[in-house]
Structure 1
């Protein structure tokens, strides 16, 4: 039995409502997530950790930022369990609400100057809930595209929820630029920074309207009709797919760690160490997001043709090769060079691996355990790569006062991804991994016939 539909009548027109529901909802959630990252690198150290020296304050701000990454695998496991037990759609609605409410409440949190130590405690708690929402979101949004799609274009279909990242990134950067223009100086640190969080309410309503109109996936519906729902998806996923979970987590090292250096760490580093105007960095990120939105599905389509492993390994090499040029371009402080560095690093290097990554991870799990298995593999990288990256980068700069260790760090992460990809199976243009309980009976039957 194929894990997903192999029907040849899957068309873009039929997939459009599904892709819209998964992509727009994901974009909204990433808008929420990136807002916190932007402010962690620029103003949260002053608002919530004002008694610390600048470097320690930034580290403390990034530590609360890391809390969201700790929550992501927890959210992936929790919502993955429900996604494999009750369906993809209901979980996606829940994660969207959780993310939206948490983000909106962040705009209401008082600062350290108003309530003291309670302020960082509250913002950390909300960051945890925000991370849990993102942890449960990714698996469901990608599974919508995968389980409605066909084998031949699996990489292309599943890349569209991935484009929610550059969409959310660009939207967050645009809103921050506009807000900073409207609220100048102390007005921004007083009230202005709260406005982008409040805008999340409007976006969440749009996302809910779109997601409530879709049905659950055919693959899960059939699984439910056949009464083959996993009793304990979390434990079964680890029991049967522990190697795939570990490898897919390592697979993300060379994508996730550099991404949060390019989009979060660089805001503080660029302004304080390189004296690059903050708005110029935001402009570079916005342009990068536009390029990424186009290049992700393009790269994923190519991976459907030449193979997921081959393309992904090429992307990790590209990331490693551009590590030193990225920082050398930033050192020039030339606006064109700075924007180009961000545009190429995010829009080409990151997009080349992030787009096909959705199919590369999810196709290693059968329908029965796919939400849990794929979510765990994807979100565990938050603990080892994405979350620690800005903290590690800040410590490296503080100790060495050089960009060289940062470039070497990116190269190391890319090398880990390269070898993880090498160890994974190739499923491009084939049926995705079938459920474990479907493999065992067929093997037993073959043995008895022999």
Structure 2
């Protein structure tokens, strides 16, 4: 067999065509972009308008905290989405689950765009808002694992990091679109018009994106790993039970790896910086539109860093790439608020851009890293649940914690210490794991995959 053919081998030993691989990459990028656009539109609106529209009777400061709490509440339901998607993804296939999560996320997002405010229907408004956010959380909990496995399990062995970066860049692209559309609406619907109807347009746009994402994902072939598992009739009966019986500690360590990235990332994706920089009673009080454009610009640097990190991890290993990323992220954490607090939009963008380099390097290799940690038969459950738990420990309440810290101390230094601590936790968790770059992913290598990648743990 030629060297080129060897590079095109899927985890099951078949040769994937270039067209098939490009289609998988395109589908995972488009699908995750649509999902995370929906998710980030909510976070952006929570930082900009939801406190005023849905929680105003609680008072200005409390309304902001309650608004950010609704962002975090969805994370509590990510494990439910991960459990459901992991179970059915390991039982009936990756592709079907991906289509269902896309539809659920889009429907919830569009309904938020139609939701009456507190002034119209009273307490029912925030309650329905929370319910729809919960549905978004369930969808997000199931989405990531399926997209990751579709990308990585279709990839040649030597390009898993690069292929795995494709669903990862859907996150910064989703942030770019969400911030860009919000900024455009802030330009079109100025002042009270934005509060009245401008914020709704980005949510309603999700209806169009659902159809695009659905069409793209339906055209992608099922993961070759799952196809072989199904042909062998080796689907695990209760994959979640098997996961926690044999790999509970691994799930926790993998979750802490993501938590270190997610807590820092949710300073922008969770809407905190947008709220902090535009608060008319805050220390900066910048206009809404330029802040949103600065966040959109930082999404571009995040995208580039994520893609480069995925590519680099195929050359120097996932673990080494992560370590570089944690150091870069720590630098970004300590430079963020000094630049933001300068009161300049340009400095705010620079602070976010520096931060996103580290974020990209601690996110780009994650798809390949997670996929190589778990055995084929329980892989969907393993990556999904680790990701969901990491999101709870990391980003779920990061904006709420940051808001409470500033209100309690009167300084953003406390937020910097909090984010630095989360970064160090992510670094320590990474150091506990062996690098398994290139390990065979097919079901015929289940015994090798089942050996613990944790340093100091029994490997047999």
Paired residue for 2:95? 89
Please say if residues 363 and 433 of structure 1, whose CA atoms lie closer than 8 Å, have aligned partners that are also in contact: no
Paired residue for 1:447? none
Aligned counterparts of 2:209 and 2:450: Cα–Cα separation in 1:
47
Aligned counterparts of 1:276 and 1:440: Cα–Cα separation in 2:
51
- Secondary structure, aligned partner of 1:163: helix
Of 424, 427, 430, 2:433 maps to 424
Paired residue for 1:446? none
Of 355, 379, 389, 2:364 maps to 355
Aligned counterparts of 1:433 and 1:214: Cα–Cα separation in 2:
19
Paired residue for 2:4? none
**Where do residues 37-436 of structure 1 align in structure 2 (5 Å cutoff)?**
37-263=43-269, 264-272=271-279, 273=282, 274-346=284-356, 348-432=357-441
Please say if residues 369 and 435 of structure 1, whose CA atoms lie closer than 8 Å, have aligned partners that are also in contact: no
| Deviation of 1:186 (Å) | 1.8
Aligned counterparts of 1:439 and 1:322: Cα–Cα separation in 2:
38
Please say if residues 326 and 341 of structure 1, whose CA atoms lie closer than 8 Å, have aligned partners that are also in contact: yes
Please say if residues 155 and 358 of structure 1, whose CA atoms lie closer than 8 Å, have aligned partners that are also in contact: yes
Paired residue for 1:448? none
| Deviation of 1:270 (Å) | 1.2
1:301-360 CA-to-partner distances (Å, cap 9, x unmatched) read 1111111111101211211122221111112122321111112212x1111111111111
Relative to structure 2, which stretch is displaced further, 335-344 or 95-104? 335-344
Aligned counterparts of 1:67 and 1:302: Cα–Cα separation in 2:
35
1:221-244 CA-to-partner distances (Å, cap 9, x unmatched) read 010000100100111111121121
**Consecutive aligned runs of 4 or more in structure 1 exceeding 3 Å deviation:** 6-14, 432-442
Aligned counterparts of 1:329 and 1:349: Cα–Cα separation in 2:
16
1:210-262 CA-to-partner distances (Å, cap 9, x unmatched) read 11111211110010000100100111111121121101100012210011113
| Deviation of 1:7 (Å) | 5.4
| Deviation of 1:287 (Å) | 1.3
| Deviation of 1:298 (Å) | 1.1
| Deviation of 1:405 (Å) | 0.8
Please say if residues 296 and 352 of structure 1, whose CA atoms lie closer than 8 Å, have aligned partners that are also in contact: yes
- Secondary structure, aligned partner of 1:119: helix
Aligned counterparts of 2:203 and 2:308: Cα–Cα separation in 1:
32
Aligned counterparts of 1:194 and 1:322: Cα–Cα separation in 2:
33
Aligned counterparts of 1:145 and 1:133: Cα–Cα separation in 2:
19
Aligned counterparts of 1:301 and 1:390: Cα–Cα separation in 2:
31
| Deviation of 1:396 (Å) | 0.4
Aligned counterparts of 1:385 and 1:101: Cα–Cα separation in 2:
26
Change (3 A) 1:64 1:435: farther
- Secondary structure, aligned partner of 1:355: coil
Change (3 A) 1:335 1:437: closer
1:14-34 CA-to-partner distances (Å, cap 9, x unmatched) read 411001111101100100000
Taking structure 2 as the reference length, what is the TM-score of the superposition? 0.92
Relative to structure 2, which stretch is displaced further, 241-250 or 119-128? 241-250
Q: Can you give the 5+ residue segments of structure 2 that lack an aligned partner in the other structure? A: 1-8, 452-460
Please say if residues 180 and 296 of structure 2, whose CA atoms lie closer than 8 Å, have aligned partners that are also in contact: yes
Change (3 A) 1:441 1:341: closer
Aligned counterparts of 2:445 and 2:250: Cα–Cα separation in 1:
13
Change (3 A) 1:288 1:11: farther
| Deviation of 1:441 (Å) | 11
Aligned counterparts of 2:212 and 2:167: Cα–Cα separation in 1:
16
